Structure 1
Amino acid sequence: MASGKQRIHFRNPAGQLLEQPVGEYIIIRYSPSPRQLADLQTLLGYAKQVLALRRWHKVIADHSRMVPFTPEESAWVTDYWLSMPSTRMPDFYGAILLPADVLAGLPIDQATGEATARAMTYRLFGEEAEAATWLAQLT
């Protein structure tokens, strides 16, 4: 698991973006309150910038307390966030944190396996420490 001080890079009503230099990944921690699409776009835009600036390719997306994405937000995340050009970032990994009760309700292969969504290979977790450990083994 990564240790070291996480640095808050950006914050708005949609959530906050943290950098974890030890482990070379970012953390997107979504807010539990409803959000505007523009705030989500800004948050994830900054996330893309930090990944590009640092030349990192790993992210923890903390969905554990967030209000679910609206259909409009889901479409935007799919079309924008998950469409990073593979020429700029051939390997992109995401550890998605879900509430324990949601994770427990998923089929075992979905809850414990890796999946790919467009440019991102991701895995679901219930704890940040487990997510960080998984990201640490990836190069």
Structure 2
Amino acid sequence: MLQLTGLALYYENPIGRLYEHPDGYVVIDYNAGDRVMSEYRAFLTHLENLLKLRGWNKMLANQRLLTPFTDEERTWIREQWLQVSHAVQREMLAAVLLPNDVFARLGMTSLMQDAREGALRYRVFNDAQAAAAWLRAEA
């Protein structure tokens, strides 16, 4: 179970919530349901802003409730958001709790393959505590 109590909430919209973890990473907690593209872009822009503000390069993404990405979302993530590592000028580290939805999981796997070509290093977990431990251990 992902423990969010006691974490500082940085941003929230219908897409989900962004929390500041005291160990120096962002916790991304996605909501279930369809996404409006403008809200999704705003959500990821706030994520980028938080990473820059704190000088962080790590995130724990709880994608368990995520529904499959649309073609528009996949394109925007690949062509725009995965470039965030260049904006913070550091390799990005992401611990990912994969979606429960099998189609969302397949779409996420495809996007993560694309991310490997950029400056995003990720690892997939079933357990939130193991994901957090990996982030803490990474320099």
Normalising by structure 2, report the TM-score: 0.80
Q: Give the Cα separation in 1 of the matches to 2:28 and 2:138.
A: 19
Check the 8 A contact 2:57/2:88 in 1, yes or no. Answer: no
Structure 1: tracts of 5 or more residues without a match: 107-114
Shift of the 70–90 alpha-carbon distance from structure 1 to 2, 3 Å rule, reads same
Find the counterpart in structure 2 of residue 70 from structure 1: 70
**Equivalent residue runs for 1:9-28 within 5 Å:** 9-21=10-22, 23-28=23-28
Cα offset for 1:20? 0.4
> What letter matches 1:19 in structure 2?
E
Check the 8 A contact 1:5/1:20 in 2, yes or no. Answer: no
Greater helix fraction, Structure 1 or Structure 2: 2
Cα offset for 1:61? 1.3
Find the counterpart in structure 1 of residue 98 from structure 2: 98
Structure 2: tracts of 5 or more residues without a match: 107-114
Find the counterpart in structure 2 of residue 109 from structure 1: none
> What letter matches 2:80 in structure 1?
Y
Q: Deviations over 1:45-84 (max 9, x none)?
A: 0000000000000011111111111111011111222112
Q: Give the Cα separation in 2 of the matches to 1:117 and 1:135.
A: 21
Check the 8 A contact 1:82/1:117 in 2, yes or no. Answer: no
Find the counterpart in structure 2 of residue 127 from structure 1: 127
Find the counterpart in structure 2 of residue 6 from structure 1: 7
Shift of the 19–138 alpha-carbon distance from structure 1 to 2, 3 Å rule, reads same
